[in-house]
Structure 1
Amino acid sequence: MGIQTGNYLTPVRLNTRSVRARRTSTLSLTSGSITPVSFDAEDWDNAAMFSATSSNISLPVSGLWGFMAFGAFASNGTGLRRLLVDVNSSGAYPTINSRPAVSGDNTHITVSGSHVATAGDALNLFSHQTSGGALNLLAGAYFTAWLIES
């Protein structure tokens, strides 16, 4: 069975440009502060979109990009946990996911979306928590992006 044409995916529309950056250590977060999440490892990067210890993914070509991020916050039953995606350090945070804290277990959050990019746009991941004290974003947080159509 081949890929259909028309409004379906075709080989021309399929692209392999993608990246997944990951944190290998915890990140201490101050309550109430929006904190950039820096990454120190990559699982793959076939388009040179990430450099170690960076907090952004640089999109090399114009087009429609998908993205997804995951983070786990240490157990604490107070407040909210958030992951926020920003484009070009605008501070607007067009994509946010928020969860109430989980008592007795880590709070897991994923955030996903898409962005119509101009070549050179940068996606940045930020975290936020309102526990009333310092709280860790746990090791293993990741941020991935892939080209859907150029």
Structure 2
Amino acid sequence: MGIQTGDYLTPARLNTRSVRARRTTTLSLTSGSVTAVPFDAEDWDNAAMFSATSSNISLPVAGLWGFAGFGAIQSNATGLRRLLVDVNSSGTFSPAVNSRPPVSGDNTHITISGSHVATAGDTLQLCAHQTSGGALNLLANAYFTVWLIES
């Protein structure tokens, strides 16, 4: 089966342990604070890595794990917008950080991707950060996908 235009990333295509957690509502982000995104839905989870209303994705086996995330932050002309991945809720972020300047008059869309060499039991969190000087919303439908590349 070939991949066609409009096809989506699914567990069957990944053929490995994977999860995609999603946030269905907005999340207020305080200016200058790094906020772990608590997800409230999953599109799939074929390895019991996610629990509803959690911000943690738990990695069940040691190995090389890939991740990809997306978030949109409401329009504002000041500061920066960032997505980061926190390892083990430690405030230690993976090398993958994606910063964007703000978009005035439109939402700022941010993606992030990377990998993590994990020990069994490690956790990953998608975090959002903005520096507008006031609270801004991370909009609904932010997501975080994690998959095992090699164990």
Q: Tell me, yes or no, whether TM beats 0.5.
A: yes
Cα distance, 1:103 vs structure 2:
0.7
Taking the TM superposition and a 5 Å limit, the aligned residue runs for 1:66-105 are: 66-94=66-94, 95-105=96-106
Aligned length: 137
Cα distance, 1:84 vs structure 2:
0.8
Aligned to 1:61: 61
2:149 is aligned with 1:148: yes
Contact 1:50 1:56 (8 Å CA) reproduced: yes
Show CA shifts across 1:20-43 (max 9, x none): 000000000111111110000000
Cα distance, 1:89 vs structure 2:
1.4
Aligned to 1:21: 21
Cα distance, 1:16 vs structure 2:
1.4
- Runs of at least 4 residues off by over 3 Å: none
Aligned to 1:39: 39
Cα distance, 1:90 vs structure 2:
1.8
Aligned to 2:140: 139
The letter of the residue matching 1:137 is: L
| DSSP-derived class of the 1:52 partner | coil
Aligned to 1:114: 115
2:52 is aligned with 1:52: yes
1-side partners of 2:124 and 2:34: how far apart? 15
The letter of the residue matching 1:17 is: R
Aligned to 1:5: none
1-side partners of 2:15 and 2:87: how far apart? 21
TM-score, normalised by the number of residues in structure 1: 0.89
The letter of the residue matching 1:47 is: A
The letter of the residue matching 1:46 is: N
1-side partners of 2:116 and 2:35: how far apart? 21
Pairwise CA RMSD of aligned residues? 1.0
2-side partners of 1:33 and 1:147: how far apart? 30
Show CA shifts across 1:63-87 (max 9, x none): 1100011000001111100111011
Cα distance, 1:15 vs structure 2:
4.6
Unaligned runs of 5+ in 1: 1-13
